[in-house]
Structure 1
C-alpha cells in the first residue's frame, strides 16, 4: 500500500510573526520557515506503517515556493519518506485549491491511504483533509490519536469533545493527525545527507489544469491587542459592581 502525505511550509513555531506595515499580511522576509508540526506527525505515522510492513512506499507532496524543496521536502525525506512531489506556486493557494491539486495527485499516484496534519499552524484552517475527502468521495477519520491499518480497512481513534471515538474505514481513506498520535523522529544529519539522493518531482499548478484562483480576500491583518493590567478591589461588593459595569454580572 502506498501512503501519500501532503505537507506545508510554514513560519517556524519558535518565531514571532510580524505584521506588514500596510496590514496586508504577515511579513515572512528573512524569517525561518519549517515543516508544519502536524505534518511531521503525519510523516512519522506513514513511516511507521512502512516499518511495520503495512505500507510499501511513502510519498510526500507540497504546494508552495521553490525553497520548499530544500527545506521541508528534504526534512520529510530525511524522516523516512521515499520520494517527494513539489507543485510550485509563488502565490499562496487556499485550502480548496490545495485539495483540488491533491485530488489530481491522488489520481496519478493511486495511494491506499492519505495522511495529513489536521491543520497548519499559520492559518489554522483545518479544511484541506475534509475537502479532499469530499472531492474524492473517500471515507475520512479526522483528529486521529491512533491509527491501525489492517488489510483493506483502517481503524482510526478520534479525539472529540466528549472523549474518544473509533471509526472503521474502508481503504482508500483520508486520515488527519492530532498531536497525541505519535512523537515525530528527529531528522539526523546522516539521514539528511542520504535524503538528498531521493527523487523530487517538480510540477506546476498549470500541469494539473486546476483553478486555484483565490475566493477569499484578506481585508486587514492586525496584531492582537496588548493585555491590560489588572486591578485590585477592596470588597466583594466592589467586585460585583465592577463586573456589572463590564456587563459580566447582572
Structure 2
C-alpha cells in the first residue's frame, strides 16, 4: 500500500496576544494549537487516500510526524482523530533545533518508513520559515512541488500533477513518485484533490474536517512511535538562532485632515508617497 508521511506542528495560538520577557517571547502560559497549514496537509492526504464509495477501503496509509516534547502531544491526537492511521513523535523541543536538523529528521523518518509521498504545509504560522519541504526534497533527492492549490494522483502512472497559482495563472507540475509536496490553503476547496478513484464530480466538505468525538476516542488507541533525534542519527548544528524578538514600534496617532488639498500636501511632504 502507498504510504504518505505528513509533517505536523504545534504552535502558540495566533489569536492570543503576544507576551514578551525581555528580548524573548514568553511562552510559559501560551495555548498550543495545531498549525493551520498542517491541517490542510493532513486533509490533503486523507482525500488522496479516501474511496468515497467504499469507506472500508483506503488507498494509502497516512503517518503523521511531529517534532515536539513527548508530553506535549495533544495536537497529535487531533490529527489522528481526523483520520490519520498512526503517528511518529520525535521527542525534542523543536524551538531548539535549526531548520537543517528538522529537515534531516523528517527525511530520515521518510526513508525508514519507506513512504511514497511527503506532504507538508507550506509554512508554520509561528515563524513562517517556508524552508522545510524544499530542504527535505533536497536531502532525499526527490522531485518537489510547493504551494499546491490542486492535486491529481495518477495511480497507474505513479505520478502527481500539482497545480500551483502563480502571478500570471496556474502552473502544473507533473511529479513521479516518490515526491515532496507542500500545500497552500486552496487545496482544501471541495474539488481540489482528486485521486482517480472517486467520481470526478465528488465534492468534499470545504476546509479541513473536524475531529469527531468518536475520532478522538479512536485516536487514543492508534499507534504512536516515539523516537529521539539521536535515534535517527541527527544532531543540531546550530546554523540558525533567534537573536532577539522585539515588539513592533507603536503607531503614531492619526490626524484629522481639513481638506483634499491639505491631504495631498501631507502625502507629498510628510509621508513622501507622492
Q: Under TM normalisation by the shorter chain, which class is it?
A: over 0.9
1:46–1:55: 8 Å Cα contact kept in structure 2? no
Whole-Å separation in 2 of the counterparts to 1:249 and 1:184: 42
TM-score w.r.t. structure 2 length?
A: 0.85
Aligned to 1:199: 223
Of 224, 231, 242 in structure 1, the residue corresponding to residue 266 of structure 2 is 242
Contact map agreement 2:6 2:63 (CA 8 A) in 1: yes
Q: Name the structure with the higher helix share.
A: 1
Closer, same or farther: CA 216–187 of 1 in aligned 2, 3 Å: same
Match of 1:178 in 2: 184
Runs (4 or more) in structure 1 with deviation over 6 Å come to none
Q: Which runs of 5+ in 2 are unaligned?
A: 52-56, 189-206
Is the deviation greater in 192-201 or in 83-92? 83-92
Per the TM alignment, residue 60 of structure 1 is displaced from its structure 2 partner at its CA by: 0.5
1:46 equivalent to 2:49? Answer no
**Where in structure 1 are there 5+ consecutive unaligned residues?**
none
CA deviations 1:1-35 (Å, max 9, x no partner) are 10000111111232222122x11x22111221011
Q: How far does the alpha carbon of each residue in 1:42-89 deviate from its partner, in whole angstroms, 9 at most, with x for none?
A: 1011111111367320000011112343x1111111001110000011
Structure 1: distance between partners of 2:144 and 2:118? 9
Task: Quote the residue 1:26 is aligned against.
Answer: 25
Does structure 1 retain, via aligned residues, the 8 Å contact 2:70–2:226? no
Counterparts in 2 of 1:147 and 1:124: CA distance versus 1, 3 Å: same
Q: 1:87 aligns with which of 62, 79, 90?
A: 90
Query: What is the rounded CA distance, in whole Å, between the counterparts of 2:180 and 2:59 in structure 1?
Result: 15
Look up the SS of the partner of 1:207 in the other structure: coil
Q: TM-score, normalised by structure 1?
A: 0.92
> 1:1-250 alignment to 2 at 5 Å?
1-20=2-21, 22-23=22-23, 25-52=24-51, 55-69=59-73, 71-90=74-93, 92=95, 93-151=97-155, 152-182=158-188, 183-246=207-270, 248-249=272-273
The number of aligned residues is: 247
RMSD between superposed Cα atoms in Å: 1.7
In 2: Cα distance, 1:113 partner to 1:223 partner: 39
**Aligned to 1:208, what secondary structure does the other structure show?**
coil
Moved more, 46-55 or 214-223: 46-55
Q: Relative to 1, partners in 2 of residues 1:54 and 1:146: Cα closer, same or farther, differing over 3 Å?
A: farther
Question: What secondary structure sits across from 2:237 in the alignment?
Answer: coil
